[in-house]
Amino acid sequence: MRSTMFRIGGELDVRRLGFGAMRLPTGPGSDRDASLAVARRAVELGVTLIDTAHMYGWGANEELLAEALHPYPDGLIVTTKVGIARSASAAGWRHDASPDGLRAQVDHALRRLRVDRIELLQLHRIDPAVPLADQLGALRELRTEGKVGQIGLSEVTVTELDEARKTVDIASVQNRYSLVDREHEPVLAACEAAGIAFLPWRPVAGATSGVAAGVAADVAAVATELDATPAQVSLAWLLARSPVILPIPGTGRIAHLEENVVAAGLHLSPAQREQLDGLDRLPTQD
């Protein structure tokens, strides 16, 4: 029987279907009120893993979650990511995983989230200008100081994951992955072998429209059989795909949030699993 729980790093017990906070508007007014309501509703629905990052509004998303949820209920893990800084470039950001940069970002995150310790901290991107051992060594020092609990990575290859584990224990990996975007299948396999949590971002992208429209018809057919939505089927497939997968679908609407949470209880038959497993791995659209 499929487990609904996972223990990250052997310490943090969470429900496998989490929530990604990136899409929550953080500006003033009614949009912010709606964001606060969505975050609170996620916890009411039993979500125990919420993902944010320094990059999401340059700290504004972290502040929003603190406003909505602090003091945090027992068992709720708010994970954040560091290693990206704002810049004047066309992209609007740059890598900054220097030891000093990471330490400053962690201190800011602690203040914004109103906590003394970040139970799961993830390196948003490996900084190509800084030796990986120096980046992870800084996070290991922060863990020794008690400011960080478990350490994770984001958007890494199998080789990078292996290299990182020589410096520090890795509890999670957050890579792009979905029913129609399986580029990081080798990374998922490595995580499963090591018992590392795998948090796919954009977990339902491409399954319902766009360039993957051919696949969308197959997903819609399974959804009809289950009286579910294609997004729910996509999430159910992820949960069935591997016991280490912890999807973090994001939304700014309560109705969509509630729809996503229902997917945790949706079970695919062996025939439906086989049908979905066999779909072409097509690229997704932004």
Catalytic residue ranges: 56
Cis previous bond, 71, omega within 30: yes
DSSP state of 181: B
250/174 Cα distance (integer angstroms): 14
List Cβ neighbours of 125 (8 Å cut-off, separation of 6 or more): 83, 84, 95, 97, 154, 155
82/142 Cα distance (integer angstroms): 13
120/26 Cα distance (integer angstroms): 22
Cα within 13 Å of Cα(201), Cβ side:
19
Query: Which residues share a beta bridge with 244?
Result: none
DSSP track, 84-135: EEE-SSTTSEEE--SHHHHHHHHHHHHHHHT-S-EEEEEESS--TTS-HHHH
**Strands 148-154 vs 12-15: parallel, antiparallel or unpaired:** unpaired
The SS3 of residue 262 is helix
